[in-house]
Amino acid sequence: MDASAGELSAARGRGAGPLVRASAAALPVAGASVEVVVCSMALQVLAPLPAVLAEITRVLVPGGRLVATWPDRGPLRPGDVLVLAGLLAVLGRGLRYPNDAALRRLPDLLTGAGLRLVDDERRRFGYPLLDAAAADRFLASLYLPDLPGYRYRTARTALRGLARARLTVPVPVRRIVAVRR
């Protein structure tokens, strides 16, 4: 499910399905009809977040679970800071998401939506840059609205350089599990 026709078209091209175009704030699903909602790498951009969480609660059965992941700031290893600092320098900015501030208040937002947080974990994963194509995929996966083209090209060149060195880019992720009360 996605609100973007372009994203759904890309998914269709990869053979994904079934595909539904809808807003996360107005799910085309009956109330109390879903046991699990998985929201992978999207809470940071879905808006307005309180309405999205309320809608997820609406479709979950009592005791149903929300499992969500999104990019986080840690944990990181000492060497990770150098790799990320270099990437951010060529991007000319940090990685920012529309819901950064809201996600810092997530436990309160979950409670307000009728969900109870039962697990909250932060982990570091690594994305191996094995070749230029992997570097390009990594860059394309980043949320970079309004990034000037020259910055994008500079970042692509830098990541391809890291790929020649077979480096792994750190990817810190936060995962939560919440249960509908």
> Cα(86)–Cα(155) distance, rounded to whole angstroms?
9
Domain assignment present for residue 112? The answer is: yes
Instruction: Render 77-130 in DSSP notation, one character per residue.
Output: -HHHHHHHHHHHHHHTS----TTHHHHHTHHHHHHHHTEEEEEEEEEEEEEE--
Domain assignment present for residue 154? The answer is: yes
CB 30 within 8 A of CB 36: no
CATH number for the domain spanning 165: value is 3.40.50.150
| Residues of the chain with confidence (pLDDT) below 70 | none
pLDDT at site 17: 85
Number of domains in the chain: 1
Q: What is the DSSP letter of 141?
A: H
Domain assignment present for residue 6? The answer is: no
pLDDT at site 114: 98
Domain assignment present for residue 4? The answer is: no
Domain assignment present for residue 98? The answer is: yes
Domain assignment present for residue 38? The answer is: yes
> Cα(47)–Cα(145) distance, rounded to whole angstroms?
15
Domain assignment present for residue 62? The answer is: yes
89-101 confidence digits (pLDDT tens): 999 999 999 999 9
Residue 110 belongs to what domain range? 24-180
Domain assignment present for residue 169? The answer is: yes
